[in-house]
Structure 1
C-alpha cells in the first residue's frame, strides 16, 4: 500500500490541501488539469481501432462476460436511432449499462479517495493559485454532457489522476487504465451487453472560459451529420436540430 500525502489526517474537510503541496506537486496538478480539459474540448475524429481497444478494455475491466460488437456512427442522435431500429438486445438496457460503467469506473474509485471531491483544489483558468473551474465544469452541465460525449468524464479523470499522481492514493490499475482509454478515445457511447454504439466526437464545441458549454445565437455543439445542440451556461436549450 502506498502512503498518501495526507495519511494520518483525520479531518480532511478542514484541511487546506493546496497549501500542503510542494511547488512540484502544484505544477503537476496544473499540468494534469490542462491535460484532461484538453481532452474534454477535443473535436478530432476518433481513431476507430483505439476506440475499439478502449471499449474492450472497459467491458473486461468491469467484469462483463464478453467484448461487444462495436458500431461506429457520426452522432449521438444516429446511435439512438440505430438502437431503436434493432429488434431486441440481450441483457441490460443501455441506461443500466451506462450507470454500471460509471459506478464501476468512477463512483467506487472516488469513494476510495480519503477526502471529499470538493476539497481538491482546482487550478483556475483565471488565476495562478487556487480556483474551482474544473469543479464548476463537472457539476454545471451533467445532463447535457452525458448526451454528447463520454469525453466529458474528463472532469472525473482529472480528479482521480490528481489523487493518484499528486496525492499518492491507491487505485485498481485495470479500471483506471480503462477509464483513461474511454475518455481519451471515444465520443458518445451507447452500450448494451452484446453491442456498443460509439459516436464520433463533435466537430465544434463552444465553451465559456471555465469550460461550460455555451453559445449565443448559434449551436454550442455540432456533429458531422448535422446534429446540433444549443446550450447556454451549460444548460441545453429546447431548439435542438
Structure 2
C-alpha cells in the first residue's frame, strides 16, 4: 500500500456494524421522504427565500442582485428566456449562467471529495438491492446502499421521471441552461444524508453554499439566470403520482387516469400514463381512430391500455385469425388479429403478446405489434418480429 493509500484509508470512516447500519438506513429513508416531499410540493413558491438564495449565489460571482421575473410555468419561461448560444459566444447575457455552472460543479467536486465519493462510486453502478434492510444485515456497505437508495432513487423519480417528462414537453432548443429548483433534489439530498446520517464533514464555506441550493429546492420551481435578469417558475398546482408496485425504496411515477399529471398555474400541463408522457387525448378521449393514426408505439400502447384491450378489440372490429401458446414466453399466449383496413390504412395484422420482461411494478404488459398480412400463424408472426422464422422462434427458451 502506498503512502497516499494509507492516508486515504485513515481518512475513511469505519463502516458501522450491521446492527447499527439498519437504524441509520431508517433515518436516511426519513430524509429521502422529506426531500421527495419538497420535490413534489405544490404550495405557492416562497419567493423571498428563493430570491435571497439566488442573490447570494450571484454575490459569490461578485455580481449584484438580479431583477426577478416570476412566471407560471416552464413553457411561459422559455418564451421569455433566450436559449443558450454556442460555446464560442461570450456575450454578457449568458456569462452568469456559465459561471454558475462552474460554481456548482466545483462545489460538488469538493463535497464528493469530502464524502470520499471515489470509495463507493463503483458500487453505485449496480442496481440497489431488492431488500436494503436484508442487505445491510448481511454486511452490505451502508454508504453504497444509501447512495443507491437516496440519490439514485430521487434521480430516477424526480429528475428523470417528473422533471424529465416536463422537459420533454418543451422543445429542447428552447430550454438553454437552467436549474431545477425543487427538482434539483437528488444531489442536494445526497449530501444532506451523508452529512446527517453518515457524519460527513464539509468545509464551512461549502456547507454555506450547499444551504443556498437546498433553500432553492425548498422554495421554488425551475429558474434561468440571464445576465442581470433571473426568470423563476412557480411550483406546479398539482402533481399526480402513483407508487411503483413492489419497490422497496418508496418510488413513485407520474400517472393520472382522468386528467393531466402535472398542472401549472397558467393551465399548462403534462399528461402521463403509468410514467409515460402521452398526449392529452390518450387519457381524456381515446378513440380507435386516434389510436390507429398514432405512430408512436408507446403512446399507442398507453391509449389501448386506457381503453382496455378487450374493449379496444371489440370497438376496433378486430377479427381473431389465430392463437397459440408463446414458446418464447411460457404460460402466455399469442393472438393474431386481422385489422379493418379502412381504419388502419395498408393491409396489416396485429399480434397481441405479453412482454417477456417484468416491469418495475412486477407486472408484464400486453402489447400489440403490426405484422404483415400474410401471416396466419401467431408463432410465425412473433418470429418475424425478431428476425426469425417461426421454427427458430419456437426453439427460444425465453425472450425478452
1:103 corresponding residue in structure 2: 105
Q: Which ranges of structure 2 fall in alignment gaps of 5 or more residues?
A: 1-7, 84-90, 135-144, 168-179, 244-250, 282-400
1:33 corresponding residue in structure 2: 32
Give the 3 Å change call, closer, same or farther, for CA 25–222 of structure 1 in structure 2. Answer: same
Which of these residues, 250, 262, 265, is aligned with residue 221 of structure 1?
262
TM-score, normalisation: structure 2: 0.47
SS across alignment from 1:159:
helix
1:204 and 2:265 matched: no
Please state how far the C-alpha of 1:27 moved relative to its aligned partner. 3.9
SS across alignment from 2:68:
strand
Higher relative contact order (CA 8 A, sep 6+): 1
1:164 corresponding residue in structure 2: 195
Is 1:18–1:26's contact at 8 Å kept on the other side of the alignment? no
2:227 corresponding residue in structure 1: 193
1:184 corresponding residue in structure 2: 218
Give the 3 Å change call, closer, same or farther, for CA 34–127 of structure 1 in structure 2. Answer: farther
1:129 and 2:133 matched: yes
- Give the aligned CA root-mean-square deviation in angstroms: 4.0
Give the 3 Å change call, closer, same or farther, for CA 176–194 of structure 1 in structure 2. Answer: same
CA distance in 1, matches of 2:97, 2:213: 18
Aligned pair count reads 226
User: After alignment, is 220-229 or 49-58 more displaced?
Assistant: 49-58
Report which of the two structures shows the higher radius of gyration computed on alpha carbons.
2
2:322 corresponding residue in structure 1: none
Give the 3 Å change call, closer, same or farther, for CA 95–60 of structure 1 in structure 2. Answer: closer
1:92 and 2:94 matched: yes
1:3 corresponding residue in structure 2: none
Q: Which ranges of structure 1 fall in alignment gaps of 5 or more residues?
A: 1-6
Give the 3 Å change call, closer, same or farther, for CA 21–106 of structure 1 in structure 2. Answer: farther
Please state how far the C-alpha of 1:28 moved relative to its aligned partner. 2.8
TM-score, normalisation: structure 1: 0.73
Is 2:70–2:231's contact at 8 Å kept on the other side of the alignment? yes
2:272 corresponding residue in structure 1: 231
